[in-house]
């Protein structure tokens, strides 16, 4: 899973056709470190359907301000260059899967078995 290092990389990611899941984190954040292996696993499983990227809040204050980050971890689901949903705090894998699939509710190509 790649880390967005600056606003140009952020713009490049948003210009792609795929939806984007942004994971705002910090190296010193315990819940962020607990969430990391889950997000990395999902980035592999969903790689053909969604871009999942990390943003370090300490190194990207401009993007953190733009998204009004007040607590981390914070995950934003972006579709058509617009934030459609967000989740803040530590989440379980099943919660993140529901979060992703909920935002793809009208897309049959993405793991339809999760809608059961």
| Max intra-chain CA distance, the chain | 40
Selected catalytic residue, list 22, 29, 55, 100: 29
Active site residue 46: no
DSSP-based three-state secondary structure for 11? helix
Tell which phi-psi region holds residue 68, choosing left (phi > 0), alpha (psi between -120 and 50) or beta.
Answer: left
Which residue is catalytic, options 4, 20, 22, 32? 32
Determine the Cα–Cα distance for residues 113 and 108; give it in Å rounded to an integer.
Answer: 10
Q: Does 32 qualify as catalytic in the annotation?
A: yes
Q: Is residue 4 within 8 Å of 33, Cβ to Cβ? A: no
- Catalytic residue IDs: 29, 32
């Amino acid at each position: 899973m790649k880390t967005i290092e600056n606003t140009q990389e952020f713009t490049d990611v948003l210009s792609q056709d795929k939806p984007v899941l942004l994971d705002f984190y910090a190296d010193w954040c315990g819940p962020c470190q607990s969430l990391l292996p889950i997000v990395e696993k999902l980035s592999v499983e969903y790689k053909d359907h969604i871009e999942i990227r990390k943003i370090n809040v300490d190194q990207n204050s401009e993007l953190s301000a733009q998204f009004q980050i007040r607590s981390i971890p914070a995950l934003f689901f972006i579709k058509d260059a617009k934030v459609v949903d967000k989740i803040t705090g530590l989440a379980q894998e099943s919660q993140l899967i529901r979060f992703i699939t909920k935002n793809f509710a009208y897309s049959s190509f993405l793991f339809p078995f999760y809608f059961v």
